[in-house]
Amino acid sequence: MYTITLLIHPCPASIKPAIVAAGCVHSLAVEPGSPYVFYSCGEDGFVQHFDLRSNSARKLLSCSSFPDTKQSARITRLNAILIDPRNPNYFAIGGSDEFAGVYDVRKYLSDCSGSLDAPVNTFCPRQLIETQNVHITSMAYSNTSELLVSYNDELVYLFQKNMGIGPSPLSAPHEDLQQLEEPQAYSGHRNSKKVKGVSFFDSHDEYVMSGSDCGHIFIWKKKGAKLVRVMVGDRHIVNQLEPHPHMPVIATSGLAKNIKLWAPLSNDVLPLPHNIQEIMESNSQGREDNSPVTLSPQLIMHVLRLHRRQAMAHNGIRLNVSDSESDEGGDEAYILGLSGGDENSSECNIS
């Protein structure tokens, strides 16, 4: 599957095809101060650089998982790209792994290979490092280069510039990771279905906002993460939201075919919905129900011991104290099929 995007040039030269990519193109980033230069990223893992004054696009890099991970050979499907507003030489990307990477475009514009995947810095909450079931759906830069990152079926995190792990996050010493300052987290919503957007709000970026699977728009104070506003934005899901750059206006979209515009009607501070606790608890429970269960070796051995005892009881074998005390030593033999058990039993059911 290929995606072709048509761009309307600001000059009378009209419309021309700009992007040809394998898979969907999920994000574009326009270079600040230049209406001609922009970047794209998509499911094929490529970051492309465009200048509308030229006739061709340039593939800057192909993003892949870090070599120390179990998915080292996999392309990172990209969902978000954005340019640092304070220094347009840097751009950030995020996608199907847990790391938000920051890159220096100057390295790629001077390198003709178009394949070097070498971030200058990476960001990730330390508890999510090497977690295989999370990925990034959206990101946003503040005017002071703070990086806001939204994770699938996880929380929204705010990273300061000094919270980076470095260019090789899986090689960072454990002691250094433990000393990193924890990013501010924003919770209450749920980001599981589709690709949820996240953004700052207010001319001074004093608020953080996100869509949610419950159909609400969540707005928090950036400092302290206090939830200050929850609005019904869609009957089903709110996926994307964008603030006006200069006015207190928000545009949102969900599964419906229309786009909603939001603006304040008065200076009155409205309370949160009366059922806000139920909304947040439902979102939290849905996230927990969808999270994978990690079974420790001790728990697995305990389940196997119970299964062995049930098998012995089923065969009419009486379990005495000495048998019980020797269970620990017999677990390995039982796992390997070298000890007794129900010959007709082929699986272990955990209930």
Q: What is the pLDDT, as a whole number, of residue 8?
A: 44
pLDDT bucket at 205, cuts 50 / 70 / 90 = very high
pLDDT score of 108: 85
Q: What is the mean pLDDT of residues 224-238?
A: 95
Q: How confident is the model at residue 209 (pLDDT cuts 50, 70, 90)?
A: very high
Amino acid found at 65 = S
User: Residue 141's CB: how many other CB atoms inside 10 A?
Assistant: 20
Q: What is the mean pLDDT of the chain?
A: 81
> Is residue 329 predicted with pLDDT exceeding 60?
no
Look at 42-56, 208-222, 299-313 and tell me which has the smallest mean pLDDT: 299-313
Label residue 308 by pLDDT band (50, 70, 90). confident
What's the pTM value of the predicted model, to 2 decimals?
A: 0.76
CATH for 2-290 (2.130.10.10, 3.30.470.10, 3.40.50.280, 3.10.20.310): 2.130.10.10
Burial of 67 (0-12, 13-18, 19+ CB in 10 A): exposed
The residue count for the chain: 351
93: phi then psi, degrees, rounded to nearest 5: -135, 155
| Amino acid in the structure at residue 118 | A
Lowest mean pLDDT across 18-22, 48-52, 55-59, 220-224: 18-22
What pLDDT is attached to residue 302?
67
According to the model, what pLDDT value does residue 72 have?
Answer: 56
3-state secondary structure of 75: strand
In this model, does residue 187 exceed pLDDT 50? yes
CA distance linking residue 328 with residue 235, whole number of Å = 54
Domain boundaries, the chain: 2-290, 293-351
Q: Which long-range contacts (CB under 8 A, 24 or more apart) does 335-344 make?
A: 335/304, 339/308, 340/308, 340/311, 340/312, 340/315, 341/307, 341/308, 341/311, 341/312, 342/311, 342/314, 342/315
Start-end of H helices in 44-122: 105-109
Give per-residue pLDDT as tens, 99-147.
999 999 998 877 655 566 789 999 999 999 988 889 999 999 999 999 9
Q: What is the mean predicted confidence (pLDDT) over 34-54?
A: 91
pLDDT of residue 349: 39
Q: What is the pLDDT of residues 260-297, one digit of tens each?
A: 999 998 888 889 999 999 999 999 998 777 655 554 56
106 or 323, greater pLDDT: 106
> Which of 16-25, 182-191, 311-320 is most confident?
182-191
What pLDDT is recorded for position 197? Answer: 92
**Banded model confidence at residue 345, pLDDT cuts 50, 70, 90:** very low
Among 182, 205, 189, residue whose Cα is nearest residue 281: 189
Strand-pair partners of 243:
250
